[in-house]
Amino acid sequence: MAEYDYDELLNRAQNEVKDPEKTQKSRFEIPKADVYKEGNVTIINNLLTIAKKFNRDPDHLIKFLADKLGTSGKKKDEKASFKGSFSQNYINNRIKEYTETYLFCYECKSPDTRFVKVDDVKMLKCDACGARKSLQSVTK
């Protein structure tokens, strides 16, 4: 049996193992909104697809966006429309804000979360780590 010294084995192991920080890609990517404008109305073509990917009620996402955009919004078929002219980048930033508040777990950053009610308090519960956080309601 060959004898190895600790430092030699450690260096060998470190060279064999890939750095997970550099190689690991997130399994969840936030979908980009497909946005276009008709006059003074901004339309998101794929809002229902985005809500489905988030496993959220589309009405909740529409209420959040309407509140953040400071306007009214409504759903029709796969689309959502908002009064006013907003850039695609601005809409995508608001959707990212939605994920930080209502999708990703505050502890483990997993997207595997759901809304639960505990004693009339709406909470975000993580299915991955079990963490719970109370949520502020979306107004409008």
* Each residue's pLDDT tens digit, 24-68: 445 788 999 999 999 999 999 999 999 999 999 999 999 999 999
Identify whether 10 is part of a domain: no
Identify whether 114 is part of a domain: yes
Enter the pTM of the model: 0.76
Identify whether 2 is part of a domain: no
Counted domains in the chain: 1
Q: What is the pLDDT of residue 102?
A: 94
Using the Cα atoms of residue 107, residue 112, residue 116 and residue 118 in order, give the sign of their dihedral: negative
Identify whether 13 is part of a domain: no
Identify whether 109 is part of a domain: yes
Structural domain span for residue 86? 29-134
CATH number at 116 reads 3.30.30.170
- 5-34: average pLDDT: 75
